[in-house]
Chains A and B, each alone.
Chain A
Amino acid sequence: MPASHHLFRYAVAAVIVMVLGGLLGWYVFVRSQVRTTQANDSARGFGTAASFGSPAGSTYTNSAGSVPSTDIQSASGNPAPRLWKVTATPVAGAGFAASSTQLYFAERSSGNVLLADPSVSSVTRLTNTLFPKVYDALFASDGSVLLRSATDAGIVTTYAGTISTTTAEGPVPLAGTYLPQHIKAVSVRSPQQLFFLVATPTGGTAGVTANWKGASQKPVFASTLQQWRVWWLSDGRMYVAQQPSDGIMGYAFTLKGGALQSLVSAPGLSILPRTGSTALIYSSSAGGVNLFGQTSASTTPVRFTVRTLAEKCVWAPGKDLVAYCAVPQVLPTRAGYMEEWYRGATHTSDAWWKVDVSAGTAQSLFTPDSGTSFDVERPAIDGNGSYIAFMNAADKSLWMLRITP
């Protein structure tokens, strides 16, 4: 066999080996790149299950599943524990459904409305219309919701939405309309009635009642001031109070026929009026916080032994003048606690107390175990007085507490 022939065979073999080696190297390189690409895509959210794959969606599931707590159990179909952390996902607000212990709430990140049912520990997403960065949500008892946000320029927007009939297929769009901009304060009176204050171009505010679409407006209040809180109770009574500041005199009024009738005044005043009576709970913050109650407008206020802000309390339904108050377990002694709390600069770990305004007494209702802490804000109670829902001001998570053990 000629030498050239051998040389040719070696050359062919070498080429084949080189080609195979090249192909193997290419395979390894491509495989590595695919893995990297898949990892990046997965990190960015591509290829994961759709948000609405579960009744509540992935945001809720991921968050709720990542928070360990002995008092907490994830949705299981069983009745919720006495203290139920409904969601660790930040919420914008919550409200009970009429004649039910079911609780509507709105996600802060999406503005989606969800429904929590403590009887089966379930959470169901009802709407899928995106409203990013909702800072405040108020509910009517039929699930209609006000979603409040702010533009980069600080202009407050308010969307009044209603939930169309839900279907078995899952969430539905939230239908509604935007109310006027610059709404400074708003109160919801079920079903679907609003009392809100709009900043006027010349300064001051104009207060109107309106339907859920913002129509049929009726002026009920006008002021050259803008920093008010408002209440429109189910019995039709209206209240306004100045936004409080530590140590600075605040005034609260009953609004009747467009006229302001003095209700109470105190430094750092915060009030909680009660529907169906003139009983009142209020707090004063001036170097320390004190909580007061009075059974009617004409009676002398009683100072309770527990010290907390009135906005951490909620009236129980029924004839008895009973309220439930979240009380800091360690009393804040710093002057200016209330304002620091408003600014998110301080938080407390609260326990629940039952306050009897008629007797002027308070007794402990529920103290969380050492591994659980919540700083109550915006408490609400269902129509039967079975559950209290509240947000944790420290992280905007949503909780429910069954009142009876």
Chain B
Amino acid sequence: MKRLALAVVVIVCAVAPAYLPAQARAQFSIPGAESVLSISFSPQYPAPQSTVRLTLQSSLYDLGSSSVTWTVNGQEVAQGDAVTFIDVKTGSLGSKTEVQADITSAGGTAFATATVVPTSIDLLWESDSYVPPFYNGRALPSAGSRVHLVALTHFVRPDGGEIPANQIVFTWTRDSEVLGNLSGRGKSSITVDGPTLFGTETIVVEAASVDGSIAGQALLRIPDTEPRLMLYEDHPLFGVLYHQALGVTTFVPKNEMSFIAIPYFASAVSSGDTGLQYEWQVNQSSVTTNAAYSNEITVNAASSTGLMALINLSLTHVSNYFLSAAGSWSVTFNKSSAGSSGGDVFHQ
């Protein structure tokens, strides 16, 4: 009985971007047989030094009753009935892993091959929301801010050459919508609107070498962050004491202090951005501030009957109606020891 030998090409749309095109050998083929045996990858774009699951699929053969032999780089790694998948450890960037699956079934024999070339993409991002000078952390996006993204591809051909970004086609997608005007050859960085209020932005970038032989994908979810209002002392000698944020209740060993509000992650270019509207209240009474320094107030308890100031602050924006933040601080002054340091050098 003449054995039927079929060689098929793996499903190109599913796996070809992540590895070199599968090789096919066929003694003869029948129309449409190209897609009857395929190998799919999970994850679709294997990373270096990772485990990828290769699964054999066919619409023609009953793989459940077929004998399958898997060969990786010339070494048989698995053999048996209905062995429809194997796990393969990828190599480093630029490495090549050759995989072949041979099946024997009542309908004949066939094989499929694939080559795994791992890739990686670092998807970096930051927001243009406000953080004060010398802040050590990342600016997070709030409603109305923008997000800058950079895709750093690590595509290394098996011959050792790294493919530069200008030889790679980037396709950016935001919430399933392809950003056509931001995508294209060499377009490795983009700027998009940040997430909406309480929303999460899903950014996907697919990158492929110009010849389509190597590809990868990266996905990112960026949640909305609420601006955080922090209150600090603006000291005449030391400047803003960014290292001593005022707690909900604070005691200060003097009877006068200047406070500055810092709107972390607000959509603004500075804490004194003209678009920001600060509304101060001290002990339930509204306080008018200097328009040029609307995020600052000075409270003097020297002539006050009480020593506690309940400071309420709300922040809005003249045009960004999604920007809203508020804070409340109870500050107790030390009326009797004005000017006394009490060992605290910031209050001498």
Interface residues of A (CB under 8 A from B): 43, 62-63, 66-68, 88-90, 108-109, 132-133, 135-136, 148-150, 152-154, 156, 203-204, 223-227, 229, 242-245, 248, 250-251, 260, 262, 265, 311, 338-339, 342-345, 393-397
CB-contact partner of A109 in B140, B148, B237, B293, under 8 A? B237
Assembly CA distance A119 to B37 (angstroms): 78
Q: A338 to B345, Cβ gap below 8 A?
A: no
User: Which of B20-28, B98-106, B120-128, B209-217 is the contact stretch?
Assistant: B120-128
CB-contact partner of B270 in A43, A153, A311, A395, under 8 A? A153
Among B231-247, those with CB < 8 Å from A are 232, 237-239, 241-245, 247
Assembly CA distance A90 to B233 (angstroms): 14
Write out the residue numbers on chain B whose beta carbons fall within 8 Å of the beta carbon of A338. Answer: 137
Write out the residue numbers on chain B whose beta carbons fall within 8 Å of the beta carbon of A397. Answer: 345
Write out the residue numbers on chain B whose beta carbons fall within 8 Å of the beta carbon of A260. Answer: 152
The 0/1 profile, CB within 8 Å of A marked 1, for residues 128-162 of chain B is: 10001111111110000000101010100000000
Most buried by A among B134, B189, B191, B264: B134
The answer to whether B343 has its CB under 8 Å from any CB of chain A is yes
The answer to whether B267 has its CB under 8 Å from any CB of chain A is no
Query: A43-B339, A345-B230 in contact; A224/B152 too (CB < 8 A)?
Result: no
What's the least CB distance linking A401 to chain B, in Å? 20
CB-contact partner of A343 in B139, B264, B271, B345, under 8 A? B264
Assembly CA distance A224 to B238 (angstroms): 33
Q: B230 to A63, Cβ gap below 8 A?
A: no
Assembly CA distance A248 to B124 (angstroms): 10
Write out the residue numbers on chain B whose beta carbons fall within 8 Å of the beta carbon of A108. Answer: 238-239
The answer to whether B46 has its CB under 8 Å from any CB of chain A is no
Interface residues of B (CB under 8 A from A): 120, 122, 124-126, 128, 132-140, 148, 150, 152, 154, 189, 191, 228, 230, 232, 237-239, 241-245, 247, 264, 270-272, 293, 339, 341, 343-346, 348
In the A-B complex, the 10 residue pairs with the smallest Cβ-Cβ separation, listed nearest first, are: A133-B239, A245-B138, A344-B243, A150-B133, A345-B245, A109-B237, A224-B189, A342-B137, A344-B245, A63-B345
Q: B243 to A394, Cβ gap below 8 A?
A: yes
Q: B242 to A344, Cβ gap below 8 A?
A: yes
Beta-carbon nearest neighbor of A345 in chain B: B245
Query: A154-B271, A224-B148 in contact; A344/B241 too (CB < 8 A)?
Result: yes
Q: B126 to A136, Cβ gap below 8 A?
A: no
Assembly CA distance A291 to B237 (angstroms): 37
Query: A67-B343, A344-B245 in contact; A243/B137 too (CB < 8 A)?
Result: yes
Most buried by A among B132, B238, B341: B238
Q: A136 to B243, Cβ gap below 8 A?
A: no
Q: A154 to B270, Cβ gap below 8 A?
A: yes
Extra inter-chain contacts (15) besides given A344-B242, A397-B345, CB under 8 Å? A66-B343, A132-B239, A135-B134, A150-B132, A154-B132, A154-B270, A223-B150, A224-B148, A225-B150, A226-B126, A245-B140, A251-B152, A262-B122, A343-B135, A394-B244
Beta-carbon nearest neighbor of A134 in chain B: B239
Beta-carbon nearest neighbor of B122 in chain A: A251
Q: B341 to A342, Cβ gap below 8 A?
A: no
What's the least CB distance linking B132 to chain A, in Å? 7
Q: B133 to A135, Cβ gap below 8 A?
A: yes
Assembly CA distance A148 to B239 (angstroms): 12
Most buried by B among A63, A90, A393: A90
List 22 A–B pairs whose Cβ atoms lie within 8 Å, in order of A's numbering: A43-B339, A62-B348, A90-B238, A132-B237, A135-B242, A150-B132, A154-B271, A156-B133, A203-B191, A204-B148, A223-B150, A224-B191, A225-B126, A226-B126, A227-B138, A251-B152, A342-B137, A343-B245, A394-B243, A394-B244, A395-B344, A396-B238
What's the least CB distance linking B346 to chain A, in Å? 7
Query: A89-B345, A394-B243 in contact; A136/B134 too (CB < 8 A)?
Result: yes
Q: B124 to A225, Cβ gap below 8 A?
A: yes
Assembly CA distance A279 to B343 (angstroms): 42
Write out the residue numbers on chain B whose beta carbons fall within 8 Å of the beta carbon of A394. Answer: 243-244
Query: A154-B271, A203-B148 in contact; A396/B243 too (CB < 8 A)?
Result: yes
Write out the residue numbers on chain A whose beta carbons fall within 8 Å of the beta carbon of B346. Answer: 90, 395
Beta-carbon nearest neighbor of B241 in chain A: A344
Assembly CA distance A134 to B60 (angstroms): 75
Q: A242 to B134, Cβ gap below 8 A?
A: no
Q: B242 to A242, Cβ gap below 8 A?
A: no
